[in-house]
Amino acid sequence: MSSQPSSRSTDTRNTAGNSSKFELLLFQLGTAAGSEQRELFGINVFKVREIMVMPQLTKMVNASAHVLGVANIRGQIITVIDLPAITGRTPAKGDGILLVTEFARTTQGFFVENVTEIVQVDWKHVLSAEGRGGELVTSIARLDGDAENSRLAQVLDVERILHDVMPDTADFGKPTGPKIQLPPGSVVLAADDSAMARGILEKGLNSLGVSFIMTHSGKEAWERLQSLAVQAKAEGKSVKDKVALLLTDLEMPEMDGFTLTRNVKADVQFSGIPVVVHSSLTGTANEAQVQSAGADAYIAKFHIDDLAATLREVLAKR
């Protein structure tokens, strides 16, 4: 492997909310057993800090089987995770490529076979992968839109992969401080497309004593919110009597968190319902974009005390 990696920075793409499109970095991981086909995989380009030829690695004692080692990149020691091995692919021989990623307040590298291109996909062409047999895949992107033979890219659940390989990256243990008191009869409406993230979030909300409704996408959350508004009107109540707060991820199929937030803030019947974004997409530019969409707060996954403190602060202003 090369000891002097050449690299390409993706820092010019510093905000995820500039359009209604999902910007994906596409890559390949090799061939699956019994197949010569090299499928396309994708990761949100805003999670990728740098792309480089695989550098020299140091093998760590007692590391996970899927940790190739650590690399010294610009003075930072970065753990390198073997994506082909995790997904059951065999890459072609050669140096391979390292994706240096930043999300959920962590920095790590993912080894891939090669990188193909960066594409923009309408969110309506990003479909949920849940129930389709791929536990490490959050969604499937139709790269050519409505074309009958559109190319497909599997969007990997890199948060789950990181959590499976390095469980300590999620700090969702027992929270400090008192339980959170919601207005009587109300719930937190939450949205996240990752089954792993929903499980961690459910554990955290339960530990805080918070009643909640969990949905799998921005579209489902929006439809549930509209349904609750109809119920509230029939009962002579306001919808905010039923929904104390909306807690949403950003990257979701069919309707992303930016669109969901804008929809809620643009509809007068949902006035008074605060929106908190809970996302692995961190950074000041993304936080500013979330605020411009109208969100009341932005917190990084997965830190229970940060979540608790933010919920208390936002609910106190309600």
Q: Residue 317 and residue 284: Cα distance in Å, rounded? A: 23
Domain boundary among 148, 168, 188: 168
- Of the three residues 168, 201, 231, the one that is the final residue of a domain is 168
Q: Is residue 108 part of a domain?
A: yes
Residue 2 inside a domain? The answer is: no
254 within a domain of the structure (yes/no): yes
pLDDT at 9: 56
Q: Report the relative pairing of strands 89-90 and 31-32 from DSSP bridges.
A: antiparallel
Q: Do the domain assignments include residue 1?
A: no
Query: In the β-sheet with 243-248, what is the strand arrangement from edge to edge?
Result: 212-215, 187-191, 243-248, 275-279, 297-300
Within this chain, do residues 68 and 35 fall inside the same structural domain, yes or no?
yes
Same domain, 156 and 211: no
Are both 146 and 235 inside the same structural domain? Answer: no
Asked whether residue 188 falls in the same domain as residue 289, the answer is yes
Q: What CATH number should be reported for the domain holding residue 78?
A: 2.40.50.180
pLDDT of 95 reads 86
The pTM of this model reads 0.83
Q: Are residues 77 and 176 in the same domain?
A: no
d(CA 6, CA 228): 53
Q: Are residues 151 and 175 in the same domain?
A: no
End residue of a domain, out of 102, 133, 168: 168
**Helices within the chain (DSSP H only):** 83-86, 158-165, 195-207, 218-234, 257-266, 284-292, 304-316
Domain coverage including residue 231: 170-316
The answer to whether position 247 is within a domain reads yes
| Residues pairing with 299 in the sheet | 278
Domain match, 163 and 95 both: yes
Asked whether residue 261 is assigned to any structural domain, the reply reads yes
- Tell me the pLDDT of the chain averaged across its residues: 89
Whether residue 184 sits in one domain with residue 111: no
Cα within 13 Å of Cα(190), Cβ side: 25
Q: What is the C-alpha to C-alpha distance for residues 225 and 189, in angstroms, rounded to an integer?
A: 8
Residues 6 or more apart whose CB falls under 8 angstroms from that of 183 comprise 241, 244, 318
Residue 240 within any structural domain of the chain: yes
- Residue 220 is assigned to a structural domain of this protein: yes
Q: What is the pLDDT of residue 303?
A: 85
DSSP 237: -
Instruction: Examine the domain organization and report whether 91 and 209 are in the same domain.
Output: no
Q: How many domains does the chain have?
A: 2
Mind listing the pLDDT tens digit for each residue in 149-161? 999 999 999 999 9
Helix axes 284-292, 257-266, angle to 10 degrees: 30
Q: Are residues 160 and 14 in the same domain?
A: yes
Q: Which two tokens stand for residue 136?
A: 């490490």
Q: Residue 233 contacts by C-beta under 8 Å, 6 or more apart in sequence?
A: 239
Rg (CA), the chain: 20
pLDDT at 75: 93
**CATH for 190:** 3.40.50.2300
Do 163 and 50 sit in the same domain of this protein?
A: yes
Contact 62, 296 (CB under 8 A): no
Round to whole Å and give the CA distance between 210 and 204: 9
Rounded mean pLDDT for each run of 10 residues along the chain, 318 residues in total: 49 50 95 92 94 96 94 96 96 93 91 97 90 85 94 94 82 74 96 91 92 96 97 96 96 90 95 93 67 86 89 92
Residues 205 and 135 in one domain: no
Helices (H) and strands (E) in the chain, counts: 7, 19
